[in-house]
Amino acid sequence: MTNILHINSSLFGNDGKSSQMANEFVQALRNKLEESALISRDLNAKPLPHLDGERFTAFTTPAEQRSDEQKHIVAESDQLIKELRDADILVLGIPLYNLGVPSTFKAYIDHIARAGETFRYTANGPEGLLNNKKVYVFAARGGQYQDTPLDTQTPYLRHIFGLMGLQDIEFIYAEGLNMGPDIADASLANARKQLASKAA
């Protein structure tokens, strides 16, 4: 059984190009696998609360000292971490907003990147606590940013997942989507060609 965790974060839900690519990839992947189980999360339809002092304090309070509200907050985070820990493949649909990840996806990261759970501090620096797994990122951009200093999204995702022990990350880009239909169509066609190849 292959466990797939699929997360979309476009403001346009399933109409977003990043969501469409991720959805197509998940379907193609499941068609190839003999047995698979899927957990999908749409962070636009069901956003997580953004990190605040109350939530951070709940994470850092010893379990035996947590209030009922803190236990509820931590249980939500624990469930997200369990989904990630149990997954064999992680598929992410992530558009580029203002040169970064959507705020809903950052909220997701803030619930799973927890010291003592998905990484720990050591004398030699942080150490990831998750077993490595394959991560596919379907990145949709209105402009063309790949391999330029303005693409802060790619290094951020590599660093934050690397912090937790996930190093095997592949990016499939669809760029220039707001630069005219010819550029957009060619970019999406190229991304879908990569998508089909990787799913196979």
Known binding-site residues for FMN equal 10
Residue numbering of the annotated binding site: 10
Kindly compute the dihedral angle of the four CA atoms of residues 158, 139, 19, 22, in this order, to the nearest 10 degrees. -70
Beta strand 125-128 pairing with 119-122: antiparallel
Euclidean distance between the first and the last CA atom of the chain, given in angstroms as a whole number: 17
User: What is the residue type of 192?
Assistant: R
Beta strand 2-8 pairing with 89-95: parallel
DSSP 110: H
- In the chain, how many H helices and how many E strands? 6, 7
